[in-house]
A and B are shown apart, each in its own frame.
Chain A
Amino acid sequence: MMTTQSEFRTALLDPMRAAPAGLRNPDGAQATKRFDVYRNNVAASLTDALETAFPVVDKLVGKDFFRAMAGLYLRAHPPNDPLLMFYGAAMRHSYHAADATPITPDALAALAPDTLPLVTFGFAPSVFVIPSRYPIHSIWWANTHGGNIAKTAQAVLITRPEFDPAVDALTPAQATVTQSLMSGTQLGEALKHGGAGFDLGPLLDLLLSRNALISLKT
């Protein structure tokens, strides 16, 4: 009796289904509990991977609920390649992103003032902006460090100053300007997306101090 990998995989991910008929205990009986070892390994290892990727969600909804949801999720959407280190969030992409040498504030200071609006920046491959309608930075911060949750929308800036990703809050306007710069828009044009009275200084300080900028062109 043949057992195909398609039959094996289907039964692995569906706990209501019987084990494939061609699998045996050493006494010759059809395997049931022994097949469950593989079922448990698959479910537990992928659930662990999701827990590692989403520690704050795990904390917010509670471990039992998280593991139950993860079980449903991984059965419906198993990962499609073996790179589990990327299963999930932007911080992990940042951690593994290529190294790059940052520019220093001097490089900006050396520019003639009238060329500033024409500047475009190169960003380190470890930089990500996550916009949101919710105060996501303070939700994350309150659940990792403590404190209160803000009342207004926030975006998150992820950078990697050296080896450990850094997570900073951006206002919606700062996020829009940063995303615009990341897509290669000239500084003068990008600033228009920040709205009236947008203050570039704090954003530029943050990007420079986090080693987020790696080149500039005029």
Chain B
Amino acid sequence: MMFDAAPNSLPPRPGVGYKAKHFNDIMANAGPVGWLEIHAENYMGMGGRPLAQLRHLSGKFPFSVHGVGLSIGGEGRLDADHLVRLKTLCDWLNPASFSEHLAWSSHDNAFLNDLLPLPYTAKTVLRVADHIDQVQSSLGRQMLLENPSSYLEFAESDMSETNFLAEIAARTGCGLLLDVNNVFVSATNLGYSPQGYIDAYPLEHVGEIHLGGHDEDADETGAPLLIDSHGAEVVDPVWALLEYTLAKSGPKPLLIEWDTDVPAWSVLFEKAKRADAALRVLA
């Protein structure tokens, strides 16, 4: 079912993942930061400081609400209570964008707090598309779907991730959130070209780009194994992949994603300036 509500409207500028400890810094001088992203699940309380801060900030910045717990790739039904909580938050905050992951995180009443992988087959296309239809009609908004970091493959997969995402976008009318760090991590781990992935990716559907850090390890054969951490510097090859992508896609809303070991505001500010420069050379 194609969804035809207004698409996401984040500006094609740098954004940062919002953390409560940066509230005063952001209100004082946000520099090139043009929008903020929050994890939906951290703002599902009834009041107090978290919602009071959003009330202040939403007068100054467009928001992106990024869900990490809906389990869109799950075999079972979506959690109806959680969908209601997301709708309550989106109706209250009226964000410029809502996004979630191509992954599952809940099964049999257990929430596993990780973005777990799914095989890419005709059957899983139908399941994910059904879930996205349900999200978009419940929220009354278009959503963006983010590509995962992959560490392994499924024997049963018979289509590429880029074809899978293109098929989902075509069926549901959802947009895509392109995480270039995830592309770099998956390409390194599974042994393909990250530029080749971008060449095959349906860039016309991209509503937002994520840029984050990863950790380095190796598998039992000594092959490199990169692990998505959201807790480290963005490495130069990922900046290069970003520039490669932007040259093909044009300017897009660009998020500096840093969720663990969150640095001082001045560090994020510098990253946002670098992202801003990458966007400005396109103008």
CB proximity of A90 to chain B, nearest CB, Å: 13
**Residues B49 and A83 in contact, CB atoms below 8 Å apart:** no
Q: Is the CB of B151 within 8 A of A3?
A: no
Interface centre among B45, B50, B82 (most CB of A within 10 A): B45
Would B114 and A160 count as touching, CB distance under 8 A?
no
User: Given that A4-B75, A25-B152, A85-B42 are contacting pairs, would A78 and B111 also be in contact in the complex, using a CB cutoff of 8 Å?
Assistant: yes
B61 at the interface (CB under 8 A from A): no
Contact yes or no, B108 A6, CB < 8 A: yes
Q: Tell me how many residues of B have a C-beta within 8 Å of chain A.
A: 52
Which of A96-104, A141-149, A186-194, A200-208 sits within the interface? Answer: A96-104
Chain A proximity of B228: nearest CB distance (Å): 9
Q: Which of B50, B117, B152, B154 has the most CB of A within 10 A?
A: B152
Interface of A is mostly: loop
Q: Which residue of B lies closest to A93 (CB)?
A: B45
Report the separation of the CA atoms of residues A13 and B109 in the bound assembly, to the nearest whole angstrom.
14
A110 at the interface (CB under 8 A from B): no
User: Which B residues lie within 8 Å of A126 (CB)?
Assistant: 47-48
Closest chain-A Cβ to B41's Cβ sits at a distance in Å of 5
Chain B 104-128: CB-based contact to A (< 8 A → 1; otherwise 0)? 1111111111101111000000000
B74 at the interface (CB under 8 A from A): yes
Q: Are A81 and B82 in contact (CB under 8 A)?
A: yes
In the bound complex, what is the Cα–Cα distance between A33 and B108 (angstroms)? Answer: 25
Expressed in whole angstroms, the Cα–Cα distance for A151 and B113 within the complex equals 41
Contacts of B158 in A (CB 8 A): none
Q: Give, as a whole number of angstroms, the nearest-CB distance from A74 to chain B.
A: 9
Find out whether the CB atom of A22 lies under 8 angstroms from the CB atom of B151.
no
Asked if A24 and B112 sit within 8 Å, CB to CB, the answer is no
Cβ-based interface call for B227 (8 A) = yes
Inter-chain CA distance A134–B50, complex, in Å, is 33
Report how far A2 CA is from B119 CA in the complex, Å.
9
CB-CB nearest in chain A for B153 = A24
Contact of A95 with B48 at beta-carbon distance under 8 Å, contacts A78-B110, A79-B111, A82-B106 already known: yes
Chain A contacts for B41, CB-based, 8 A: 82-85
Question: Which of A39-47, A64-72, A113-121 forms part of the interface with chain B?
Answer: A39-47
In the complex, B236 has a CB within 8 A of chain A: no
CA A41 to CA B69, docked complex, whole Å: 15
Give the contacts of B48-106 with A (CB-CB under 8 A): 48-52, 68-70, 74-76, 79, 81-82, 85, 104-106
A37 CB to closest chain B CB (Å) equals 5
User: Cβ of A34 and Cβ of B114 under 8 Å apart?
Assistant: no
**Which listed residue, A23, A46, A78, A79, touches B154 by the CB 8 Å rule?**
A23
10 pairs of A and B residues whose beta carbons are closest in the complex = A96-B45, A82-B69, A98-B46, A99-B47, A163-B49, A78-B110, A34-B152, A31-B152, A98-B47, A26-B191
Given A8-B116, A23-B152, A32-B220, output 20 extra A-B contacts at Cβ < 8 Å.
A1-B156, A6-B107, A23-B153, A24-B153, A25-B152, A25-B219, A26-B153, A34-B219, A38-B117, A45-B114, A78-B112, A79-B113, A80-B109, A81-B111, A82-B68, A83-B85, A84-B111, A95-B50, A97-B45, A164-B49
B residues apposed to A, CB below 8 Å? 41-42, 44-52, 68-70, 74-76, 79, 81-82, 85, 104-114, 116-119, 151-156, 189-191, 217, 219-221, 223, 225, 227
Residues of A whose CB lies within 8 Å of any CB of B are: 1-6, 8-9, 12-13, 22-27, 29, 31-35, 37-38, 41-42, 45-46, 49, 78-85, 95-100, 125-126, 160, 163-164
